[in-house]
Amino acid sequence: MNFGAKIKLLEEWIDKSNRIVLFTGAGISTLSGIPDFRSANGLYKRKNVISPEQVLSHHYFLAHPESFYQFLKKEMLYFNAKPNKVHFWISNLEEEKEITVITQNIDSLHQKAGSKIVLELHGNIREYYCMKCGRKYDKEILKRELPICNCNGLIRPNIVLYEEPLNEEIFNEAIFAILKADMIIVMGSSLVVTPASFLLSFYNGNRFVIMNKDETLYDRKANLVFHEDILKVIRNVKK
C-alpha cells in the first residue's frame, strides 16, 4: 500500500472511531528538542562513566542521591521545551473524539498542548515528594543541591526508576482505556520497554496503527504501519 492510500485509510478509521487511544513515546518529544534514550544521539550513546540505566535505578538513587540529582539536572530537565505539532494534533482530536493519551514520556508536553486525559506510565519530572513523610514539592525543590525535606527525608522525583514497578492504578486505567478503544495509534515508540508495551496486547480491535521511523516488534500485529516521519504523516491527514 502506498503512502497516499495509507493516509486515506487512516483518515477513514479516525472518522469512524469514537474512542481513540494515543500511545506515545520519546519519538515525539525529540521534535521538541528533548533527547531520547536509544537513538544514535540518545542518552545511552553518550560517554558517561556510569550508564543511564544504573544512575536511574532505585538502588543507585538511594545509595548516591547527589550523583543521581547531578545527572537528572544535567541530562533530563527540559522545562523550557514546548509542545510541537504532534502534541497539538493529538489534543485537537479531542474536539470531536474521546481521546486517552497513554505516554511513556515524563515531560508533560501533552498537558501543555491541552490534552485532558493523560496517563503517564513512567511518571513525570514536574512533581516531587518526600520518601519519609510524603510531602509534595514542585520543581523549585531542584534549586537545592540535594533535595531534603523538613523532616530530613529524601525527596525524589515522581518518575518510575529502573527496578520499580509501574503505578498500578495508572496501569489499570490504561488497560481499561485500551479495552474499550475503537482505535489505537502508537506514535514515536520503539515498543521495547516493558511492561508498558505489553499494554498493546489488550487491544482487540482491527484499527491498530503504528507510526515510528524504525521497525518495532509489533509491526506484524498492527493493521497499518508508517515508517515515515510522524510530522509528514500528520501533515497529510485531513481533520
CA distances in angstroms from 47 to 7, 50, 98, 187, listed in the order given: 40, 9, 43, 28
Cell of 61: 538513587
Q: Which of 59, 87, 122, 227 is catalytic?
A: 122
| 110 carries an active-site annotation | no
Residues 191 and 197: beta-carbon distance below 8 Å: yes
Contacts of 38 (CB under 8 A, 6+ apart): 26, 44, 190, 192
CB atoms within 10 A of CB 130: 20
Contacts of 138 (CB under 8 A, 6+ apart): 126, 127, 128
CB atoms within 10 A of CB 136: 11
CA distances in angstroms from 212 to 22, 83, 187, 202, 207, listed in the order given: 13, 18, 6, 20, 16
User: What is the rounded CA–CA span in Å between residue 91 and residue 80?
Assistant: 20
User: What is the rounded CA–CA span in Å between residue 161 and residue 76?
Assistant: 13
Q: Would you please indicate which residues are annotated as catalytic (active-site) residues?
A: 122
